[in-house]
Structure 1
Amino acid sequence: MRIELVQQQTLKLNMTQELQQAISLLQYSSDDLLSYVQELTMENPLIEVRENDYSPFRQKPSSSTKQSFIENTLREKTGLREHLRQQLIDFSLNKNDRACLELLIQAIDSNGYVKDSLTDLASVLGVSEELLESKLYFLQSLEPAGIGARSLQECILLQLRRLPIRNELAEIMISEHFRPFAEKSWKELSKKLNVKIGEIQEIHDLVKQLEPRPGLKYEADDCTYVKPDMTIKQINGDWRILYNDELIPQLLISEPIECSGPFSLDEEAQSYYSKKLTQGKWLQRAIEQRKETMINVMKVIIQKQQDFFIHGKSHLRPLTLKEVADILNIHESTVSRTVKDKFIQTPHGLVMMKTFFTNKVAEDNGEISSASVKMKLKKLIDSENKKKPLSDQKIANELKTLYDIGISRRTVTKYREQLNIPTSAIRKEY
């Protein structure tokens, strides 16, 4: 064995801490970026935030009718639980009752369900399961109807029992025959209960009017409004990108004042302020680079997806991350980070930036995208005869006949499931 000393030159990319942070910054949503900047301002005395009427760092609410995104977010998280607590004010409850009800309110999820077992919850307070269950029944009597249910079956039943005119057959159907009713095994139910299928259909129509997630509207009222990162408008025939600078704080970096004489900074203090100054300037550059990258990617998207901006989502064409990356001469992962959790206001509504990227359905279908096929598929199902709904094979045949889109039955099934559309047997109405 021979040992030699060999000198070799290699090219290697070292990921500095600044580069790693810049990459992280690119994939942050506006909300995450605000939180990150807020953390840095707490630990870096040289970073200041230039406040305006929309600044998320303002301590007092703005006199403007617009309110900050963070204020909306904070209010959204307490909507449902506060609504339930306010209803308890009218009742004379002892300390033990209030403790049980507060525990149950805390256990309610955003849909309005209690998913934790009563056994586990009772052990937290050291009370009997029977006592906690009696308080759950009390909670279920509050608004909205269906709140505090432990399953979809119980949620629907609670709402049926609150109807001004109660439907006894519907209550029996849900409480005792929920599974075959939901799976539309109606012929068996018709024979078993000695009722007509038309009556079961009427119950089905009634249940469809109820709310399967009664708590959701209290959460959604405040959080459905999302401020877009960019807005796309057509001005004088050209598509313009309006970047929403209101979402991102304007930073001011204060350089430390040099002192002389007995008040001059020692070497350790100078080193500290030098590092903080570098960090502040890097943050300014990184935020500006994030903005520039987002705009550049959006320009390519507009160029490639002209039909979408003119006609809507059904005209999306196939577009990959690699295509955009090659045009901008950047890495594919950079494009992926850029579009992550970003929202765009378009003439056809608010969409996520990643919506513009969709694959081809099949090579022989040319420039048609999977998103476009899904919309056409949904349109066919929405307009079908509900008494004779289309099977997946018939949908595939209709797509070929009407739109010259040749996809297999299995692909139709996959797209239908992705759209959360049930099978033809469940869609059937009598």
Structure 2
Amino acid sequence: MREEEEDEKEKELMEFITSEIPKFYAPSWQEREEFQEPQEVYLPDLKEHLLTQLRITFTDEEEIRIGEFIIESLTPEGYFTMEPKEVAEALKVDREKVEKVLSEIKKFDPPGIAARDAREALLRQLEEKGIDDLARRIVEEFYSQDVETIKEKLGVSEEEIERAMEEIRKLNPAPASGKWGEVTYVIPEVLVEKEKGEWKVILDESNIPFLHISTRYIEMLESDELPEETKKWLRKRLRNAVRFLRLLEERRKMILKVVQFIVEHQRDFLEGKTEHLRPLKLRDIAERLGVDISTVHRILKGRYVQTPRGIFELRYFLAGGVRKGWEYVSKSQLEERIREIVDNEDKQNPLSDAEIAEILKREGYR
């Protein structure tokens, strides 16, 4: 009976190897010129990036003044170390209003900005990624302690701690660090193009080597001369290889699904019919595809796409929504409308933020 079970397992393994597992290599379309040369991409200045989000989020003149003060007071790491009471006294405003504005700024991009310290910055990034488990407890309670201490106090294995620490290492304890305000060079991993009226999403896998199950090991497994103990070891290694290749294929399919959803959602922008993005959040993509928010976050972060309108980081296509009448428009549309109002105002008698807010209110923005 034992021998029959082993034969059945071996048969299943061989079926996996010969039929279900993809081979990874750089196919001919990856020789396209689009993927060959690093492309120039401008990253906005951090202060400029934060002030844009501030003016999109608030229309009250006093709240904008508070926000500007907070942004100007950030440390080089991106922390805000003042107490709300100090800001209230400096600006002669209500403390509650300062707390409200600070709370909103802490939701701005990059994740963790305006945190009090590295610990809070990491916690906010874990929250955005949808991670609320051991990694969060380690940051929250044992930030400066070693693995042995954490293991003893939490009663978890070293392997579990190491997995959590791996997630923490991916975060940025200094949110303001990065290439803000610089021209950087990237090689887009995804190409989006329109062909015969249909949008196509193409992955550049040229940096992935040719991967497949070696026929040599398959032959060894089928050999009658190989000791059973060796075959048992080989089966285990082959199953691991099969699992790895299947995970690669699942990752590839998920990237395609995410980008295809973004293309479908932001079609008007990609086709040049509008300069504005439709509202789109991480949660929208996750719910549509039936995956965790953290999965979508990992796919979008640091991955660039080449489109007919230029090269963008995938996160660029996320846009918060603002209510106008009975529909939602993107924050970039609101930003554009504010710019139009300012451009057309009387330069000798410029509008105040409160007056701009009133114009927007009359037009239905909420």
Q: TM-score, normalised by structure 2?
A: 0.44
Higher relative contact order (CA 8 A, sep 6+): 2
Larger radius of gyration: 1
TM-score (norm 1): 0.38
